[in-house]
Structure 1
């Protein structure tokens, strides 16, 4: 079988799995000149090209949203561990990529399929490659194999796909939500606590948004729970995309801004210290798509604003639209030096988005703008 043909098919199939790097220009990946290269951007802005591919698109699962479902009529391909590790090393040595993201369908039983991914990582480590590896843990993988995967990978992940048991059952009949998914997340967390050297970058997960009838409120409750219980480093939200010749080919797509608002709300919960009760949902349990959730909080809590910049605590400052964690820390640092802010231009120099923040702040008791609530 032609290696390039395999790579084009299995690299394209891998685009549905999100990882810890998000490409702001996703079309670069889909139409890139070099198959399998995912032009990614890390949270700190560093561009990190990943070799992102499936071990195989053969699969015994029946996920209704997935092109690789066992019922799909498509050509099936599979790499051997030796083929894939050699291909990665060729890309790496040519400086096409800096890291590996490896996922897979389940071509036979679960553990033999997982062992093939682990073997790729083992070959690379034995070769001397010490860079980034992210391994996707297949649902139902045994405890011992998860531990082996974590001993070789920087990060691992199990795709939860749905926020509730009922929502999960809408999508598949071949996987068990509590046993195959939640229990494996629990094992990963337990192993990490016992030995922090195992998958030191932790674990992540992914939700398919819009494939079932789950609300944003249900999704965010679960992401918050996973963060608190299993120390999930990040939850990714993949917007459902109807694929021809799958059971959900006629299912409606979610609003184009829905996943963006979920990311923003999840960030408020897990990085900004917002409580779940401070998020604003409509009567259907969904977030407003036209405005971001932080702005929505502010206009629904007008008694808290405008906030005096020279007196507010860090916790109060980061709830102001246009003020992030970095700019809030800069404001607090200046105050500790007995330097107080008198002009909007000074806030702008500290990184504050002035147009967003103006209606919600005061400087030396003076209102900066008005807002019609």
Structure 2
């Protein structure tokens, strides 16, 4: 089988891994396998080459087309073969970076060795110095993780579920505490070391709707990770049933649910909310109809906040005021106090949302503050 034929299969198998990467280069639109347009938080789309090294896998994940019970053609690329294909894309300006993952072809350590050899060839043999994001295999050794982080701009390890019991609903071949949480702690302990690739970061991903975990359970896990590690961010993959898997007859996850989880996750990670500040329904899920920040604000007793004197932690709890605009408010008010909402609007505050929750020098400009 030709390398191109292999790529068509392996890149399709990598479609459910999520990532972002912010860059401002542009590439032409081409119809080649593996070009994935990652979207950063600034809305910028960047083309990455996203593929599996192998679709062979010993795991029995019930949602995954590559689970070991499926009978189909299994393929694997050699490290140098993959490196050369990627470089042909990169040198032709089709992509701006590599996003590499893999099934576990025989065991965790051998698979990690092949991943590491691929990126080692790119860095050392071919002198490639642009973006590389690799997925760490659950159960990988600390030494393999260390060598991966010495070569990659970003590493990630999919947490998959929020609880041990949640992971047991998905697979019988992974140990939540040992294979995932322990490895995440190793990644965190290595980040920032002198031998790690400059400014290397790590992320994780969780599947939503494939098991019975609630939003509260999911966000409780995220809160613990953010408090105890330098985790850059989390991704929420809405479960979609795949024909040929044990979960092929399960319902798809509502994408509105993952959208609300992203909003709530940002409150925990960027805005430093506590889980207890968020509002859940009687089933421990977020509302699909209302913004979690507004729901949280309605039960807080800090409003209305004084724009010209309130601390940063209160300002970022105002709907319509983000982290960047809160910092601008604090810097500007040192020179002259804000007088009205129009001045806030000029620095990016969404005043239509913020107005009921703020005041200027003791005065409201709205009669909407009514909870």
How would you bin the TM-score normalised by the shorter chain? over 0.9
Question: What is the SS of the residue equivalent to 2:13?
Answer: helix
Does the Cα contact within 8 Å between 1:152 and 1:199 map onto a contact in 2? no
Question: Are 1:160 and 2:159 matched, yes or no?
Answer: yes
Structure-1 residue corresponding to 2:15: 15
Alignment of 1:1-373 (within 5 A): 1-21=1-21, 33-126=31-124, 127-192=126-191, 194-195=193-194, 197-198=196-197, 200-301=199-300, 303-337=301-335, 339-364=336-361, 365-370=363-368, 373=371
Of Structure 1 and Structure 2, which has the larger fraction of its residues in helix?
Answer: 1
Could you give the per-residue CA deviations for residues 142-166 of structure 1, whole angstroms, max 9, x where no partner exists?
2221221111111111111001000
Does the Cα contact within 8 Å between 2:14 and 2:51 map onto a contact in 1? yes
Normalized against structure 2, the TM-score is what? Answer: 0.93
Does the C-alpha gap of structure 1 residues 221 and 199 become closer, same or farther in structure 2, counting only changes over 3 Å? farther
Does the C-alpha gap of structure 1 residues 326 and 259 become closer, same or farther in structure 2, counting only changes over 3 Å? same
CA RMSD in angstroms comes to 2.0
Distance in 2 between residues matched to 1:32 and 1:103, nearest whole Å: 22
Could you give the per-residue CA deviations for residues 294-320 of structure 1, whole angstroms, max 9, x where no partner exists?
11111233x332333233222111111
Distance in 2 between residues matched to 1:330 and 1:150, nearest whole Å: 35
Aligned positions, number: 364
Aligned-residue offset at 1:256? 2.0
Normalized against structure 1, the TM-score is what? Answer: 0.92
Could you give the per-residue CA deviations for residues 326-351 of structure 1, whole angstroms, max 9, x where no partner exists?
111121112100x2222322211110
Structure 1 segments (4+ residues) deviating >4 Å? none
Does the Cα contact within 8 Å between 1:20 and 1:234 map onto a contact in 2? no
What stretches of structure 1 of length at least 5 have no aligned partner? 23-30
Distance in 1 between residues matched to 2:57 and 2:339, nearest whole Å: 62
Aligned-residue offset at 1:55? 0.6
Distance in 1 between residues matched to 2:19 and 2:148, nearest whole Å: 16
Could you give the per-residue CA deviations for residues 79-118 of structure 1, whole angstroms, max 9, x where no partner exists?
1111100001101111111111100001112211111111
Aligned-residue offset at 1:47? 3.6
